[in-house]
């Protein structure tokens, strides 16, 4: 499925999604009930894609690079990158009432309840709309069939990019992940070199090292330990893998296997999406 950059330019934003999501919670509606879906279907959420900005979803295992590529596309397309993992971390670092409960769930590698996630996402969409944001690239949502059904019940997702990476690389990438505690920049100190064997291609991913001003301020996510990452991968296979099939059946899934690190993968991803990055074009021409 290809999406042209031209087609998504100069388009009007119409997002009532956050109201639909939050109304389901404030009214105490059963998220699974037909009343919930019936109610939301009456909202003007199903604008034609040409009349609004893109609404994309990124799926993929922990460590695959959803955040990296979703954030690059968000800059390119001018739509917000909304990562529910970031929303959860913001909440658990606050002194809000949910903080300690979330910390425990996240540090065990488990999923936060659908209600809490939808509440956090609704608030984020509402704040974005107040600032005039349009469209979105969701990263880390939906992660359960129930979340996917709720999202499908309130808006039309145009495209779901399912990022894939050789399994051997996922754990190493999570363990190598570092974040600058000052600017929030994401880096990776792992150097991944997988030898090709039995017809399987090899793969090299260079580390993504921080600039000198970030180097002394690097921190690791508390859930990026070997034990917790293995549990997150297990939970992904159990709870989130079925979401891939959910979108495959609806003809929305674009499967993309990362061929290596950012320099090899970014141009190929753009090609798969039928998009052009002026910076990639310039460096190719240089
Ligand atoms: N959609 C969601 N549903 C439930 N829990 C979520 C969701 N998004 C994030 N979380 C919680 O936040 C944690 C971190 O999420 P994220 O940063 O997306 O990590 P990952 O690297 O595993 O993709 C998850 O392990 C989970 O506890």
In angstroms, the CA 257 to CA 265 distance is 9
Which two tokens mark 147?
Answer: 């979340």
pLDDT at res. 198 = 84
Please check whether residue 24 is in contact with residue 42, taking contact to mean a CB–CB distance below 8 angstroms.
no
Q: Which domains does the chain have, with CATH numbers?
A: 6-166+234-271 (3.40.50.300)
The burial class, CB within 10 Å (0-12 / 13-18 / 19+), for 129 is middle
pLDDT bucket at 154, cuts 50 / 70 / 90? confident
- Is 177 catalytic? The answer is yes
Q: Is the CB of 163 inside a 6 Å radius of any atom of ligand 1?
A: no
Beta strands in the chain (DSSP E): 55-59, 81-83, 136-139, 159-164, 177-180, 186-188, 192-194, 203-205, 218-219, 253-257
Q: Quick one: DSSP state of residue 236?
A: I
pLDDT at res. 48 = 67
Out of 113-122, 189-198, 274-283, pick the least confident. Answer: 274-283
Cβ-based neighbour number of residue 11 at 10 Å: 17
pLDDT at res. 183 = 94
Which two tokens mark 184?
Answer: 């929030």
- Is 146 catalytic? The answer is no
Cα atoms in the Cβ-side hemisphere of radius 13 Å centred on 65: 26
- Is 232 catalytic? The answer is yes
pLDDT at res. 28 = 42
Q: What is the pLDDT of residues 54-93, one digit of tens each?
A: 999 999 999 999 999 999 999 999 999 999 999 999 999 9
CA 3 to chain centre: 18
Is the ipTM higher than 0.95? The answer is yes
Q: Tell me the average pLDDT across 148-160.
A: 93
Among the listed residues 123, 146, 164, 221, the single catalytic one is 221
Please check whether residue 116 is in contact with residue 98, taking contact to mean a CB–CB distance below 8 angstroms.
yes
User: Which residue's CA lies nearest to atom 18 of ligand 1?
Assistant: 85
């Amino acid at each position: 499925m290809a999406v042209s950059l031209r087609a998504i330019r100069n388009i009007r934003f119409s997002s009532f999604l956050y109201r639909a999501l939050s109304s389901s919670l404030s009214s105490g509606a059963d998220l699974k009930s037909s009343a919930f879906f019936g109610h939301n279907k009456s909202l003007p959420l199903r604008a034609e894609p040409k009349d609004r900005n893109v609404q994309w979803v990124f799926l993929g295992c922990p460590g695959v690079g959803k955040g990296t590529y979703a954030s690059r596309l968000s800059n390119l397309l001018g739509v917000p990158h909304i990562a529910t993992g970031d929303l959860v971390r913001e909440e658990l670092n606050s002194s809000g009432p949910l903080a300690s409960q979330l910390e425990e769930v996240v540090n065990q590698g488990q999923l936060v309840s659908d209600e809490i996630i939808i509440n956090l996402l609704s608030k984020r969409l509402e704040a974005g709309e107040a600032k005039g944001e349009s469209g979105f690239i969701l990263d880390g949502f939906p992660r359960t069939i129930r979340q996917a059904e709720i999202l499908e019940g309130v808006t039309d997702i145009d495209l779901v990019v399912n990022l894939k990476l050789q399994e051997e690389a996922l754990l190493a990438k999570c363990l190598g992940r570092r974040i600058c505690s000052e600017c929030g920049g994401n880096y990776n100190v792992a150097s991944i070199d997988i030898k090709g064997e039995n017809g399987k291609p090899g793969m090299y991913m260079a580390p993504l090292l921080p600039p000198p001003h970030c180097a002394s301020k690097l921190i690791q996510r508390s859930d990026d330990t070997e034990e917790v990452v293995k549990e997150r991968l297990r939970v992904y296979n159990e709870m989130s893998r079925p979401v891939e099939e959910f979108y495959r059946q609806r003809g929305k899934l674009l499967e993309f296997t990362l061929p290596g690190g950012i320099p090899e993968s970014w141009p190929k991803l753009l090609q798969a999406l039928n998009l052009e990055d002026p910076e990639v074009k310039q460096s190719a021409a240089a």
